[in-house]
Homo-oligomer: A and B are copies of this chain.
Amino acid sequence: MTRFVDVRNMARWAATRGPENILAEMAGYVEDDFRRWEEFDKKPRVASHTPFGVIELMPASDRDTYGFKYVNGHPSNPARGFQTVTAFGALADVHNGYPTFMSEMTLLTAFRTAATSAMVAKKLARPDSKTLALIGAGSQSEFQALAFRSVLGIERLTVWDTDPEAMEKFVRNMAPLGFEIRVASSARDAVRGTDIVTTCTADKANADVLTADMVEPGMHINAMGGDCPGKTELDPVILERGRVFVEFEPQTRIEGEIQQMPADFPVTEFWTVLTSAAPGRTAKNQVTIFDSVGFAIEDFSALRYVRDAVDGTNFYDEIDLVANPEDPKDLFGLIGALVPQT
């Protein structure tokens, strides 16, 4: 049998374990897997684009475990009452190819994206960072706020979204949790004087959510929303002003902010900072940019973490996903229909 965490169990588990505990623990799993980056079989995700959005498969594997995620991205979904991003995924045993664990990953992707942002910012942002500007108050925004508090101790937020109701929702969800929140009047207003900026908007366009004149010395920019061809958030001048860190360069060249730059534009794969093979931030006044598109190893880490975390709990079911006849060569015997069908 394959263990399966459905949406209800994921929400119950998240409420019981606590979102900030989850984000801190998951950031640890992601960091562990980034540190052993070279052990993974890595490929750019396989994307199927349509006029409505994109559906992607994201596989990654190490010597023992294979993982993949199914995920969509449909920017026009919220206007029609659907989630922009939904996902599910599975882990399998590399030795026999059997799936061992399956999970909803809509909530899980929200957690892993925020956990990765915070894990990276912990290393790249100025150590004295106290404030976070959130540009975009959609599904990911609360997870970002909680991850930056959980991992970096940041409690002062400014928020901006073109949709006032999204900002109201954000404040309604986050104010009771003890954050100090300022609702800004523009992206420029939100960003002014902050230490870290997360851009997380959904429009599939080459947008200038952040322009170069809004970027202040020493800022860390967590650029998450530019994540497929034709979808960027940063004025390209910003990319020349700071140092750009990426997850998996072959994928980010196609999908990230750097799709706006020449193919030889210099970037640093972030795992090399963790292993000290490359420097991270080298000066207080330096601008650092995490051009994040989301990589399969992060989903692998998130699945691995949830699998471990729900072990021994009642937050999973068992599903009958793998036909396993007693005689492995007698698959047909499973059907048990040994009468002529003529």
What is A's interface to B at a CB cutoff of 8 Å?
A: 4, 6-8, 10-11, 14-16, 18-21, 41, 43, 46, 48, 50, 52-55, 57, 59, 61, 63, 66, 68, 70, 72-74, 77-78, 80-84, 86, 88, 90, 92, 94-99, 104, 106-107, 110, 137-140, 142-143, 146, 150, 163, 165-166, 169, 173, 176-178, 319-325, 327-342
Q: B169, A338: Cβ atoms under 8 Å?
A: no
- Select one of B55, B68, B106, B335 contacting A92, CB under 8 A: B55
Name 19 extra pairs, CB < 8 A, besides A7-B320, A78-B328, A173-B338. A7-B324, A14-B335, A15-B337, A20-B342, A50-B94, A52-B95, A53-B96, A53-B97, A57-B68, A81-B328, A86-B97, A104-B322, A104-B323, A106-B331, A110-B331, A150-B341, A173-B333, A176-B338, A177-B341
Distance in angstroms from A186 CB to nearest chain B CB is 20
Q: A328, B15: Cβ atoms under 8 Å?
A: no
A-B interface, 6 closest residue pairs, ranked by CB to CB distance from nearest: A72-B97, A142-B332, A20-B341, A106-B323, A139-B331, A15-B337
Interface centre among A7, A53, A107, A165 (most CB of B within 10 A): A7
* Inter-chain contacts of A98 with B (CB < 8 A): 72, 82, 86
* Inter-chain contacts of A338 with B (CB < 8 A): 173, 176-177
- Pairs A–B under 8 Å by Cβ, sample size 15: A10-B323, A14-B335, A19-B337, A19-B341, A46-B46, A53-B97, A54-B97, A55-B92, A57-B57, A72-B98, A84-B328, A88-B321, A139-B332, A146-B341, A163-B329
* Inter-chain contacts of A94 with B (CB < 8 A): 50, 52, 55
Q: How far is the CA of A191 from the CA of B52 in the complex (A)?
A: 52
Chain B residue nearest in CB terms to A323: B106
Q: How far is the CA of A330 from the CA of B172 in the complex (A)?
A: 10
Q: B81, A323: Cβ atoms under 8 Å?
A: no
Q: A320, B6: Cβ atoms under 8 Å?
A: yes
Interface centre among A20, A63, A166, A332 (most CB of B within 10 A): A332
Q: A73, B53: Cβ atoms under 8 Å?
A: no
Distance in angstroms from A46 CB to nearest chain B CB is 5
Chain B residue nearest in CB terms to A58: B57
Chain B residue nearest in CB terms to A177: B340
* Inter-chain contacts of A140 with B (CB < 8 A): 331
Interface centre among A73, A90, A97, A320 (most CB of B within 10 A): A97
Q: A320, B8: Cβ atoms under 8 Å?
A: yes
